[in-house]
Chains A and B, each alone.
Chain A
Amino acid sequence: MKPILEVKEISKRFRIYHESRPYLTFREQIQKTFISSGKKTSEDFWALRNISFTVSQGESLGIIGRNGAGKSTLLKILSRITPPTTGGIVSRGRIASLLEVGTGFHPELTGQENIFLNGSILGMKQAEIKKKFDAILDFSGVEKFIDTPLKHYSSGMQLRLAFAVAAFLEPEILIIDEVLAVGDAEFQKKCIRKMEGVARSGHTILFVSHQMGLVKQLCNRCILLDKGIIAANDSSEKVTSMYLNLGQQEAVNRYEADAGSSTGKKYFFTDVQSVNPAGEAISTFGFNQPICLKMNMQFNQDPGDILLSVGLLDKFGNRVFTVHRPLKEFLNHPGRVSGTLKIPANLIAPNYYTFHFALVTRDGTVFDQHESKCLIQVADTGTVFSEYEGKDYGSIILDCEWI
């Protein structure tokens, strides 16, 4: 069977005007026609370069990439909002995208009127909307206000109504873009269930998200876009972990002692850095990856009974846990100690964390201590809480037993 979507070497060029305005005034256009100033007022920017991939019927494809990688441009081309500069796409089904939720909603029209208008804009036939009307209403949960102008709705209600219409589109190819980040948790769950239903019923899904956990849950294959080209096209497992390692070099957050902070101290940290088990400096860890913190210390005296204490802090600065170990127990080079702490994989909940590290004695004497250093991110790679990504459900995910 032919693939439902064939993307063949598409590229998209944008002209960037240096007045930071995409449109010209008539005067400027006339000026440009008659006076050719040597100064270049625009330059080309290729948002996408030679993108090719195919999607087969019933497949769920994830599209990931950092901001500015070209995801939105690709989606705009797929949904025919803007044409590619070169290349072409063959689509064998209706494409609809959930980045369009609520498109064309008018504040003066009632909920019911907006369902019809919005449904029609999204490409549904009037008869189709009529048939699904009750289901849409039921899904949205705003029955009571259906004859009220939309401007009196809360933003949550507007969103629910919008999503409800879109959820009943049933296109052959559905594009979903980060819309799930909005709305309350209950509604989000409802949407995810609906989407899983859509995926199971043989529809093709293109899912664009920053939430790696959800991507892995919903898609078996993934495309990684980086600076307008396809950096990877493989199983979600591989591609999401590639994404997490992509561009790490510049993002690494390390602590390094400078001359001022170490002078006069008998025991001090020279540098501290988050690393992966292979010892490479990274700052974004997958949930299923162990988190390591490599510390180098220096001292002028015998380590004695000094303890190395390390704590993990959540983004509010609260202590998640603390561990300590006598310096003596580390492998020593004279005057130098190097130690790596390894936090087991599948424990620290996806979120942002920093470290607190100190050299102390048991009676409370502090020789060197640093708070909130080495920012790391734990990214969701398919935890049981994937759909709550971004919500606060604690700092650890424990695999407890129910008895």
Chain B
Amino acid sequence: MEYEIKPAGRLTLNLPELWDFRELIYFFTWRDIKIKYKQTFLGGMWALLQPFLLMVVFTLFFSRGLKISTGNLPYPVFVFPGLLLWNIFSNGVTNSGNSMVNNANIIKKIYFPRLIIPVSSILSTLIDFFIGFLLFIVLLIYYRVPVDPGRLLYAFPASLIIILITTLGVGTLLASLNVKYRDFRYVIPFMVQILLFLTPVIYPVTVVPEGLIRDLFQLNPLAGAISLLRSCFGYDYEVGFHLMGGTALSIILLVAGLVYFRKTEYYFADLA
């Protein structure tokens, strides 16, 4: 084994190195999952309770209160997959955005590809998604909603991948910015909150006025992924320009995030 330690220079993603450290990705993810519900009475139940309670609240407000129409889908079935995917994004961005600062003591003492930290903090949010999805299956059975299994087979992984790409892009960007400018510690929760309103998670995109504004809303990669998943349960959504555009946007975000992260990671130890 021979390697060189050089001044910061050429920009490479160095995926082989990341692969070498795959066990560390696993351990960091495992740690984040493990400590998430430590010393709580309900433990993993929170992964069920959080989206469930949110669903109940939103159902009361939007469906019963504001009488928002979600087409042929009952509102709880409409909102739940949205919330599950949204939680990957919001928790993922929040966790990874703060991850470099929170793990400063490790970064300052030992070398490993820094990308492992935001990546595993995002991966650890997946467990909540899968637990929540079990509850969603119960919900589907309760409301007797027909499922399109053929569509589910590709829409489920595709929507997850789009969400993960977007989350990783935004997460790594915020993580490296946060190391340098601690302002982002306060920007992140604010940003996530605003985005919840700008993304058709708790309302259908049809409430947005038709035309350019609705197009913009639909170009949001999160909106595309959520709608794609919903479409497996009878939600009216066409795979087309908006989804392509959104996916392209998420890839652009990912590239931007990774490039900026790689460019600044050399100095994390000096700044953190």
Using a CB–CB cutoff of 8 Å, the interface residues on chain A facing chain B are 14, 22-27, 29, 76-94, 97, 99-100, 103-104, 106, 108-109, 113, 116-117, 120-123, 125-126, 149, 172
Contacts and interface: CB of A to CB of B under 8 A. Distances in A.
B27 A103 contact: no
Contact of B271 (A23, A79, A81, A123): A23
Given A88-B5, A108-B39, A81 B24 contact: no
Contacts of B35: 106, 108-109
Contacts of A94: 1
B136 to A, nearest CB: 29
Contact of A106 (B31, B39, B179, B269): B31
Contacts of B270: 14, 22, 82
A126 B23 contact: yes
A136 to B, nearest CB: 16
Given A88-B4, A120-B23, A23 B179 contact: yes
B38 interface: yes
B149 to A, nearest CB: 37
Given A22-B271, A92-B2, A125-B23, A79 B266 contact: no
Contact of A25 (B5, B27, B112, B182): B182
Contact of B1 (A93, A109, A122): A93
B108 interface: yes
A77 B5 contact: yes
B2 A76 contact: no
A89 B3 CA distance: 8
Contacts of A87: 7
Interface in B1-45: 1-8, 23-24, 27, 30-31, 34-35, 38-39
Contacts, number: 104
Given A108-B39, A120-B24, A81 B8 contact: no
B109 interface: yes
Given A100-B110, A121-B24, A122-B110, A113 B34 contact: yes
Contacts of B180: 23-24
A99 B109 contact: yes
Given A103-B106, A108-B35, A113-B34, A83 B5 contact: yes
B105 interface: yes
B182 A83 contact: no
Contact of B5 (A84, A85, A97, A116): A84
B111 interface: yes
Nearest to B31: A117
Contact of A121 (B27, B38, B184): B27
B173 interface: no
B13 to A, nearest CB: 17
A83 B181 contact: no
Nearest to B111: A80
A121 B23 contact: no
Q: Which 4 pairs between the two chains have the least Cβ-Cβ distance?
A: A80-B111, A89-B5, A120-B27, A26-B181
Contact of A76 (B30, B31, B181, B269): B269
A172 to B, nearest CB: 8
Nearest to A80: B111
Contact of A81 (B2, B27, B109): B109
B109 to A, nearest CB: 5
17 contacts: A22-B270, A23-B179, A23-B181, A79-B110, A80-B5, A82-B270, A83-B7, A87-B7, A88-B5, A89-B4, A89-B6, A90-B2, A92-B1, A104-B110, A109-B31, A121-B110, A149-B38
Contacts of B267: 82
A211 to B, nearest CB: 22
Contacts of A83: 5-8, 266
A24 B23 CA distance: 34
A84 B38 contact: no
Contacts of A91: 2-5
B210 interface: no
A93 B39 CA distance: 42
Interface string B239-272: 0000000000000000000000000001101110
B107 interface: yes
B46 to A, nearest CB: 16
The listed residue with most B CB atoms (<10 A of its CB), out of A26, A83, A92, is: A83
